[in-house]
Amino acid sequence: IGVGLVGFGLFFLLFGMLLYFDSVLLAFGNILFLSGLVFIIGFRRTFTFFFQRPKMKGTSFFLGGVVIVLMRWPLLGMLLEAYGFISLF
């Protein structure tokens, strides 16, 4: 279930970017991707991965980008998510 959710999440993210940053597809892709990640590695390990002290900057940018996309500012939200994703890894 988790791999399918992550796969569909990445598909909707890619499709949303191809359709000139469609906010609904990007928001749906973000929700599916994060829920799939929780299904794959578990809630506790996901929480401990995102909320470690050295990774708080990347986590705040990534989750802030998700919130910005949900508020229908897709370009700014995806830029924040990309910076947060790079900072996390």
Q: What pLDDT, in 10s, does the model give residues 27-79?
A: 999 999 999 999 999 999 999 999 999 999 999 999 999 999 999 999 999 99
pLDDT band at 89 (very low <50, low <70, confident <90, very high): confident
**pLDDT mean over 1-30:** 95
Residue 54, both tokens = 């050295």
| Separation of CA 63 from chain center | 7
Question: What's the confidence (pLDDT) of residue 8?
Answer: 97
Q: What's the angle, vertex CA 7, arms to CA 77 and CA 53, rounded to 5? A: 50
Per domain, the residue ranges of the chain are 1-48, 52-88
Going by the DSSP 8-state scheme, the letter that residue 19 receives in this structure is T
Going by the DSSP 8-state scheme, the letter that residue 6 receives in this structure is H
Question: What's the confidence (pLDDT) of residue 81?
Answer: 95
**pLDDT mean over 1-12:** 97
Residue 66, both tokens = 């998700």
